[in-house]
Structure 1
């Protein structure tokens, strides 16, 4: 084990979309675990969009705002390299909010709201999936499609940000349930990847004929809209929703960095009109609190070959700031975007 490690700290609050320059790479000594603590070696980091709520200059909802100069928060998959806790042994692989650093000391007895680090079974699936398909994104997709969306066989479900970690899983769950999955993604490469994952139709929101593509993909409309985006994409989908359609809402990335009042124009009156005229059922939810049932079902579907996990990787902890920035500026990665910090043992 080296005497020093690298960590990523927040150097400046984001003004608009986060930039790599908002972060700083520091070299510090590798910490030592104390009583009932464990030392973790980070294998994979997740650059989740929701982390933005911690670093925006404008304080919004979500995770508590970070202090400048502190290690960037976020979930990671790590290997236990030393343990003074009876529940963990060297060689165990765990998932927890250990932040953007090569090594981390955690005290399982003083864990955060998500509980102590979750032990992973490498025989079940690649451990990286604990940050995607078998992690928070998988739980969110399950909650949105199964619980909130209540998707039934034969129904059409349209999914925004379908090329992302949540959307790519959600579309596959729709297919497992016997529904028709229509994905909205940015760029021809992402749309092609969704068709390979089993989506029935796609629409490229970056294309000049997006509206026509969406209309062609939804000739009979849709019963469910899983909304990850808001903004122009949602406004384009609304006319295609059937009466009594359900709209699970788990994200609004089009409005990240925007306070209570956006730059305009005010489209809320038209939105309200659609809600009333079509008797839409809209519900926001936080899928990461959905419990283990969804992950167990997804694991079973993966074992049966009904769901594939889509992952993309960048290499080295130094790549984390740029990878996080790319989540908001557009990239070609499909599925969960991860930073591979170290090789698995």
Structure 2
């Protein structure tokens, strides 16, 4: 089988050359273990936190030469555990490999694999709308942002898995959703998903587009990016606006002090002058209620799960690197490793 291992620690944005594809033997399931065939790999940007030589945030760190770990959907092909049968679909954090071993009763921080119901939705959605990204979007909009009907939310990285879900959840709650994305195709894709307005951060008139999209300002800023995008959003936030901080991809791989001028004085001034409420959060706290609400909205046709695919495990390094270089995909980007069944 093939697996993808970490070849070198990332310096700044990850590159495909930071990884290596290897041929190794297919493992055999022992007592209490499952052998899983990987179907889909999610190239989540948060994996970046595990790729530094020294830990900058969090506790996870990958070792050189070890398989990359990330969210996957797999199918059980051999089972020595009473809770799982051959053919079951599961979601979990496993290696970037065509097959992997899991011992559910000896699960570490990753937890045992979550069994999936293929009748509910395509199993790939367990890595997007009905998985971590969906829970994260729900937590940010509903519990942290506390968006009310009639309020406006502006979302950075809105064409991504979390951002595209956040906008649709906002619409399901009766809010007005404004998305920030890079490129005309992504912006049009957001409008097709039901966003009320968009602004293209790659366009020379981005600031003007953003002001036009937010004529009365924003009540909530769903933050995924940081950098110049956030500097343009801050002056447009209403007094008392909430800012759920989901990510800051412009600074992933940057230490405590990044390059360029110090914008903290202006940032602090905006916080104080407008009484901004800023809170970092983890999407897992949305729990089953978040997934149940999303599933209900999907059945009602209020939410469309946006997915994009590249094929073959060899494509994983380039796909992951593209997350940081501005790829053209809309929604959740997945590597399709094998066919279901």
Is the TM value for this pair above 0.5?
Answer: yes
Structure 1: which 5+ residue stretches go unaligned? none
Equivalent position of 1:304 in the other structure = 300
Specify the alignment match of 2:309 in structure 1. Answer: 313
Match of 1:273 among 269, 273, 276: 269
Aligned counterpart in structure 2 of residue 144 of structure 1, from 129, 140, 146: 140
Question: 2:330 is matched with which residue: 325, 330, 334?
Answer: 334
Once residues 294 and 34 of structure 2 are traced to their aligned partners in structure 1, the CA distance between those partners, rounded to angstroms, is: 29
- Measured at CA, do residues 114 and 68 of structure 1 come closer, stay the same or move farther in structure 2, by a change above 3 Å? closer
For 1:143 and 1:209, the matched residues in 2 are separated by: 32
Select between 254-263 and 334-343 the one with higher mean Cα deviation.
254-263
In structure 1, C-alpha distance between the alignment counterparts of 2:36 and 2:59, rounded to whole Å: 23
Task: Please list the CA deviations of residues 55-111 of structure 1 after superposition, one character each: whole Å capped at 9, or x if unmatched.
Answer: 124531135111100000101000000000000000000001112000001000011
Match of 1:226 among 219, 222, 225: 222
2:245 is matched with 249
Aligned partner of 1:196 among 192, 195, 220? 192
Calculate the TM-score normalised by the size of structure 2.
0.99
2:82 to 75, 79, 86: 86
Report the 3-state secondary structure (helix = DSSP H, G, I; strand = E; otherwise coil) of the residue aligned with 1:292.
helix
SS at match of 1:339: strand
**Residues 163-222 of structure 1: CA deviation (Å, up to 9, x unaligned):** 000000000000000000000000000000000000000000000000000000000001
When the two structures are aligned, how many residues end up with a matched partner?
A: 341
Deviates more, 1:111-120 or 1:44-53: 111-120
* Aligned partner of 2:321 among 316, 322, 325: 325
Range with bigger deviation, 262-271 or 189-198: 262-271
Deviation of the 1:115 alpha carbon: 2.2
- For the aligned residue pairs, the C-alpha RMSD in angstroms reads 0.8
Higher mean C-alpha deviation, range 314-323 or range 60-69: 60-69
1:34-53 matches, within 5 Å, as: 34-53=30-49
Deviation at 1:113, TM superposition (A): 2.3
Matched, 1:161 2:157: yes
**In structure 1, distance between residues paired with 2:39 and 2:222:** 31
From 125, 129, 134, the counterpart of 1:129: 125
Q: Is the 8 A contact 1:50 1:62 kept in 2?
A: no
Question: Which residue in 1 is equivalent to 2:287?
Answer: 291
CA distance in 1, matches of 2:62, 2:111: 20
Give the match's secondary structure for 1:324: helix
Distance 1:19 1:57 in 2: 15
Indicate if the aligned counterparts of 1:195 and 1:202 stay in contact, CA closer than 8 A: yes
Q: Matches of residues 234-245 of structure 1 in structure 2 within 5 Å?
A: 234-245=230-241
Matches within 5 A, 1:17-96: 17-96=13-92
The secondary structure found in structure 2 opposite 1:89 is coil
1:290 aligned counterpart, secondary structure: helix
2:102 and 2:200 map into 1 onto residues whose CA distance is: 43
The aligned counterpart of 1:110 is: 106
For residues 196 and 228 of structure 2, the distance between their equivalents in structure 1, rounded to whole angstroms, comes to: 23
SS at match of 1:97: strand
Please report how far the alpha carbon of residue 14 of structure 1 lies from its aligned counterpart in structure 2 after TM superposition.
Answer: 0.7
How far residue 153 of structure 1 moved from its aligned partner, in angstroms, is 0.4
Which among 91, 94, 97 is matched to residue 98 of structure 1?
Answer: 94
- Structure 1 stretches of 4+ with a deviation exceeding 3 A read none
